[in-house]
Structure 1
Amino acid sequence: MRPVRFVALGDSLTEGVGDPVGDGWRGWAALLAGGLAEGAGGCGDPRSPVEFTNLAVSGAQTREVLEQQTPAGLALRPDVVSVVIGVNDTLRCTFDIHAVAERLDKVYSAFTGQGATLLTACLPDPGSMLGLPGSLARPLARRQRAVNRVVHALSDRHGAVHLHAAEEDWIADRGMWSADRLHPGERGHRQLAVRFHSLLAEAGLGVGAAPSAEPEFPVPTRSASLWWLATAGTAWVARRCTDLLPQLMTLAADEMRHRARGTSARLDVRAAAAVSAALAALQVVESPDVA
């Protein structure tokens, strides 16, 4: 009997940023891999009945997932595939919910067409995680809500195992997050792995032992966290703000104008209409209970 093949697609969240092991990253997907089959010995054990391949790349957007990661993933013919992506799209001046929806639909369809079990997740918006001022945070929150609505609808369409990871308790628990406030720490990555495993078990698919929710390594000291932010963390943020910042200032100015006029609701209506149009173009009917 061949091993269960698990392939992970996405960005830095799935790459494992925030959960350092040795000289690299581990992350929730690697932690989950050990629980996808009975007797699994972990993704690094050659005797393990799970073959895990992580194709996620820091900074990836839906375009990279569709054009680069998906062909590589399809070639591996996975039994289980995770596609957790979208935050980096919201951090770019090129953000287009129509394009995001079209790309995700193609990715999901390609893997489910091979018979793979698809894992997806909706995520908290980066503005709230970073604690940005309201006029800066609200445009990013609106974009992330749009992506989440698309992911919800397409997950239903393709029968995905979907994790709701944008709840308030997840966002508010600082013990779950790393120093950069955008990526989970080890505890957060473990929580993602545990919750995905639970959903798979409920669907009769996660037959191995659940990953441990307890951290293996001590929490980084405050000085270590500050050092990371001053070196690699600052560079990480700078790379992602190069093209976003000018547009974010424009979005913030638009936000303040609407608030001054009492017409902020128009921005939400406009964003909701864009999501509905994007899904209609794909002939996807959105569930009425999706917010």
Structure 2
Amino acid sequence: MRAPRFVALGDSLTEGVGDPVEDGRRRGWAALLADGLGPGAEFTNLAVSGSQTRDVLDRQLSAALALRPDIASVVIGVNDTLRCTFDIHAVAARLDAIYGAFRERGVVLLTACLPDPGAMLGLPGALARPLARRQRAVNTVVHALSERHGAVHLHASEGAWLTDRAMWSADRLHPGERGHRQLAVRFHALLTEAGIATGPAPSAEPEFPVPTRSASLWWLATAGTGWVARRCTDLLPQLLTLAAAEVRHKARGTSARLDLSASHAVAAALAALSVPEQRPEVA
């Protein structure tokens, strides 16, 4: 019996941002998990920083399928919420196509719901609430489609780890080494329970020293500011408009309408997936 073959798809979270190792390389939760899947497990990380669901569908999926994996992780969606082009219908259709392509080939699929970026960045309420609403929409879609496609799903959008500063890197959007290890440990537990992972669980304890506060502040003042700006620039004008709408609805006592509208959009997006011709084609 050959060793399990694990392929990881996604964005900077899976690429390993926040978990640097020797020689400036990034490791991340998926690489940590791979070591515990079983003897000789093969691992390929196709995740690319900044990716959205369309990038996974158009670029990463075909490369992943060509590797004929036994296990594949698809953890994606936060970058979609940080774009002015955000469309929950398109996100749902892409994820359905990606998940379906793996499940049709009998691949064990790993998915996760993720924390809302506005809260993690500590944005003011009027700015944070629209992002939170978008992330809740993505998480609801991921939950529903994970169940539909029989994925091993990790609830990473809640729990004490979100407020534990030791889990997070300087940018507050990516886990630090301890946080990446937490994700690997939790995924490993789910896979062990399902009889899929046969190797030892990853250690929860960091291997490398935690960056000093001065180093973290330097990163934020240099690379970090640019990193956030590159991903949010096209969103800022729209986000200000959304924030203004939040303020107006709050003043009128009609904020619930915004949540209701988002819920209806999610329901419509999921209902539309029952029509096969509306799904994007897999390259």
Coarse TM-score class (shorter-chain normalised): over 0.9
Q: 1:164 is matched with which residue?
A: 155
Aligned counterparts of 1:232 and 1:25: Cα–Cα separation in 2: 15
Of the three residues 74, 77, 100, the one matched with 1:109 is 100
Query: Under a length normalisation based on structure 1, what TM-score does the superposition of the two structures give?
Result: 0.93
The structural deviation recorded for 1:235 is 1.1
Q: Find the counterpart in structure 1 of residue 45 from structure 2.
A: 54
1:1-291 map, 5 Å: 1-22=1-22, 23-37=24-38, 40=39, 49-283=40-274
Match of residue 279 from structure 2 = none
SS of residue paired to 1:59: coil
Alpha-carbon distance, 1:3 to partner: 2.1
Cα distance in 2, alignment partners of residues 168 and 162 from structure 1: 15
TM-superposed CA distance for 1:170, in Å, is 2.1
Number of aligned residues: 274
Residue 2 of structure 1: how far off its partner (Å): 2.2
Cα drift, residue 169 of structure 1: 1.1
Separation (CA, whole Å) in 2 of partners of 1:116 and 1:257: 47
- 1:12-66 per-residue CA deviation (whole Å, 9 max, x = no partner) reads 00000000012111000000000001xx4xxxxxxxx111000000000000000
Per the alignment, in what secondary structure is the counterpart of residue 119 of structure 2? helix
Q: Following the alignment from structure 1 to structure 2, what is the Cα–Cα distance between the partners of residues 216 and 269?
A: 45
Q: Name the aligned partner's letter for residue 26 of structure 1.
A: R
Deviation at 1:107, TM superposition (A): 0.2
CA distance in 2, matches of 1:159, 1:241: 33
Q: Secondary structure at the match of 1:119?
A: strand
Partners of 2:74 and 2:47 in 1: CA distance: 9
Percent of aligned positions with the same letter in both sequences?
A: 80
Match of 2:281 in 1: none
Shift of 1:241: 1.6
- CA distance in 1 between partners of 2:223 and 2:185 (Å): 28
What is the CA-CA distance between 1:168 and the residue it aligns to? Answer: 3.7
Aligned to 1:53, what secondary structure does the other structure show?
strand
Task: Give the counterpart letter for 2:31 in structure 1.
Answer: A
Partner secondary structure for residue 52 of structure 1: strand
Query: The residue matched to 2:98 in structure 1 has which SS?
Result: helix
| Cα shift at 1:228 | 1.1
| In structure 1, distance between residues paired with 2:125 and 2:221 | 25
- Displacement over 2 Å in runs of 4+: none
Q: CA RMSD in A?
A: 0.9
SS at match of 1:25: coil
Separation of aligned partners in 1, 2:36 and 2:103: 21
TM-aligned CA deviation for residue 92 of structure 1:
0.2
Deviation at 1:283, TM superposition (A): 2.7
For residues 108 and 222 of structure 1, what CA distance do their matches in structure 2 show?
Answer: 40
TM-score by length of 2: 0.95
Amino acid at match of 1:5: R
Secondary structure, aligned partner of 1:223: helix
Quick one: structure 1 residues 168 and 133, their matched pair in 2 at CA, closer, same or farther if it must change by over 3 Å? farther
Q: Quick one: distance in 2 between partners of 1:126 and 1:252?
A: 15
CA distance in 2 between partners of 1:67 and 1:60 (Å): 11
